[in-house]
Structure 1
Amino acid sequence: MAQQEQLGYLESTIRKIYPQDLSFRNEATGRLQQLTMPRWALGRLMDLAVDLAGMTRSMQPPVARKTIVVMAGDHGVTAEGVSAYPAEVTTQMVHNIMDRGAGINALAGQAGAGIVVVDMGAKDPFTSLRDSPGFIAKKIAPGTANISQGPAMSRTHAVMTVEAGIEIANQLAPEVDVFGTGEMGIGNTTSSSAIAAVLTGKAAAELTGSGTGISQEQLDHKIAVVQQALEVNKPDKRDGLDVLAKVGGYEIGGIAGLILGAAALQKPVVVDGFIATAGALIAYSLEPFVRDYIICAHQSVEPGHGFMQEKMQLEPLFDLQLRLGEGTGAAFAMNSLEAAVAILTEVKTFAEAGVSGKS
């Protein structure tokens, strides 16, 4: 009964997700074609302006209030030696972010974006952070099980973690125009590689990268671990919740829920790197229209990242060889959204400026 109620809540959110509004897209396109410049001279920024108008149903898309949501979770598969860093780094980096000492703090600050850290499934109880501004406790469980030996979590927990992400979107929505996805979880590139393999149909060896910077020998072992996880668990590619439960992570499910929640609220969500895109792909598998609200910040050096973006038919804004995660790429890309809106709203048309158009 509890699971039915949970699924009902998830389904009610999915039912609120519609494609971008075509009338606003057409109106934005019409205006941009008349601006005092050669046709579509600002390229992808103009494409982004059209998307933002369609997402927000506005010719003055609201993008000023930006928040990066950093989902944290631990992974049992770290016991297999798939990361260059020990599992306790998840906890240490959560504290570092809360102390404003991480890469995401620098880039979010530069972009004028706030940061919210959410404990979705870390081992540490974070007792000292419970009452801290910018920290939200949504722990489903203290880390996933080892996916090379069995499922990461139960299906009920998979539903709960997606719903927790939706709840975060709804909770923050009154103060947020644009969401950004971030994550912190040692071992999560291994889970993301497994998710990518299932949902893109590509081989684990094609998709799995060095993550935190492991050696070639360690990478070969990591690929074998991903392959073992797929063979042991046999996730169903037709069922995103099954994939999440079998080989995912709590922070990945939280990201999926945040994206679903943002789409239901008709708010743009800027998706960061490899792990965040795995969460986006889970959301996309549950409701394909969610792609209409996703802005892919960049393409990382992880080989599976581009394949996941291609699966959703989305193109990244940048390719800067990023591989940090935390939401850093999303924070950097948020500057582009304000630039796109400025083009749409501040540049005059030929008629408005009294400039002669193309003969």
Structure 2
Amino acid sequence: MKDLNEILEGIEGSCEHAKIKAKERLDNLAKPLGSLGQLEEIAIKLSGITGKISNPMINKQLIIMSADNGVVEEGVSSCPQNITAIQTINFIRGVTGVGVLAKHAGAKLKVVDIGINADIDYPGLYKRKIRKSTWNMAKGHAMTREEALKAIETGIDMVEEAVREGAQVLGTGEMGIGNTSTSSAIIMAFTGYDADRIVGKGSGLTEEGFENKKKIITQALRINEPDKNDPIDVLSKVGGFDIGGMAGCFIGAAYYRLPILIDGLISAAAALLAYKLNPLAADYMFTSHCSAEPGYKTIIEILGLKPMLNLDMRLGEGSGCAIAFNILEAADKVITNMATFEEASIKNDYLIDIR
């Protein structure tokens, strides 16, 4: 595999010529200008990514990174840590939210053990464990710099495999008890915003537990002093293996010019990390849905993206991506299969005054 710096330097922005051609076609379809709204914006962005007008999405893959976080020792989650391992297996069994939705979308799930705090062996599981859980970021660095780099490289490696298998679009998902805390810490490290603005309750904390969570995250940032100008430093000090892995997926997708979907808060934190490594990575990202977590909106504003859906979802796992695959497909069908005014034998003289 190429060196990370080589990958980052090899990322190019979207193709402006292809976007212009896509807009020209959309403007000539038998419909009022811009009447399909965000579907048209998506189709144009897809063309900029691939350089093609038509972008079929028969091969859809959703990559889930599973890892545990040492900070759960501090009571930042209401869920026991062993849920990470249990749900990871259930992903493969297809009985979780994302499992059901991915099957409905015709997407292949790839589940990666990148740092689960248990020895698990299950058919179909990708064993890429860096270590059994990160360390407790409230007491020191979550991981070494070398481990942070390995996490990112693991994500890039998963994308490389997807490319070899002919994947046309990717989604990102995660499983890791405590990872809303690591995600919040990353956002706070990059933005300088305080816990009251960024931190959410995650999976059902009491008010007392919520205040403790904000205190612990603030403590972790004070102890570790991550350098906001060094994304690898931020990841290693207050991040998680799952976030690093997904960040690698976003970097890999940009390098190989594949569209890739952001899910909720944790996946968005990974997207922000990828963006900080190379801002051009955002040209390849789509936001599936609007997460209820407060830090999510901050990230999306930084990335300059717009959620496709707002279904009041907060499950994670990649569940939003599984639904949004259908939206991307719909955008492609519009630009590929709709007739132009000429093809539909419709005179468009009446449009002259409004164009």
TM-score by length of 2: 0.96
Determine the structure 2 residue equivalent to 1:295.
Answer: 286
Which of 61, 68, 71 lines up with 1:74 in the alignment? Answer: 68
**Distance (Å, rounded) in 2 between the aligned partners of 1:236 and 1:316:** 29
Match among 137, 142, 159 for residue 147 of structure 1: 137
Does residue 38 (structure 1) correspond to residue 28 (structure 2)? The answer is no
Is the partner of 2:310 in helix, strand or coil?
coil
Find the counterpart in structure 2 of residue 161 from structure 1. 151
| Residue of structure 2 equivalent to 1:268 | 259
- Superposed structure 1 runs of 4+ greater than 2 Å apart: none
Q: Aligned match of 1:52 in 30, 46, 50?
A: 46
1:146-167: CA deviations, max 9, x gaps?
Answer: 0111110001110111011101
2:91 to 84, 94, 97: 97
1:67 partner SS = strand
Aligned counterpart, 2:191:
200
Aligned positions of 1:120-199 closer than 5 A: 120-126=114-120, 128-129=121-122, 132-133=123-124, 135-175=125-165, 176-199=167-190
Q: CA RMSD in A?
A: 1.1
Query: Is the partner of 2:170 in helix, strand or coil?
Result: strand
Q: For residue 3 of structure 1, what is the aligned residue in structure 2?
A: none
Name the CA distance, whole Å, in 1 between partners of 2:271 and 2:158. Answer: 16
Counterpart for residue 254 of structure 1: 245
Query: Structure 2 stretches of 5 or more lacking a match?
Result: 351-355
2:105 paired with 1:111: yes
Which string of whole-angstrom CA distances, capped at 9 and with x for unpartnered residues, describes residues 94-152 of structure 1? 111122110011110111111000011111121x32xx23x211111110000111110
Q: Is the 8 A contact 1:56 1:62 kept in 2?
A: no
Moved more, 326-335 or 308-317: 308-317
SS in 1 for 2:52: coil
Number of residue pairs matched by the alignment: 349
Corresponding residue of 1:23: 17
- Structure 1 pair 85/358, CA: closer, same or farther in 2 (3 Å)? farther
CA deviation string 1:308-346 (max 9, x = no partner): 111111111112111110000011111001100000000
Separation in 2, partners of 1:259, 1:147: 24
Aligned residue number for residue 312 of structure 1: 303
SS at match of 2:174: strand
Equivalent-residue separation in structure 1 for 2:77 and 2:179 (angstroms): 9
State percent identity of aligned pairs: 39
Q: 1 CA distance for matches of 2:192 and 2:44?
A: 32
Given the two structures, how large is their TM-score scaled by the length of structure 1? 0.95
Letter in 2 for 1:350: F
Could you report, residue by residue, the CA deviation over 1:28-55 in whole angstroms, capped at 9, with x for unpaired residues? Answer: 0000011111101000000000000110
SS in 2 for 1:152: coil
AA aligned to 1:168 is M
Q: How does 1:220-259 map to 2 (within 5 A)?
A: 220-259=211-250
Give the unaligned 5+ runs of structure 1. 1-5
Post-superposition offset of 1:358: 4.7
- Residue of structure 1 in register with 2:353 after alignment: none
Cα distance in 2, alignment partners of residues 358 and 45 from structure 1: 25
Instruction: Tell me by how many angstroms 1:62 deviates.
Output: 3.3
CA distance in 2, matches of 1:253, 1:78: 18
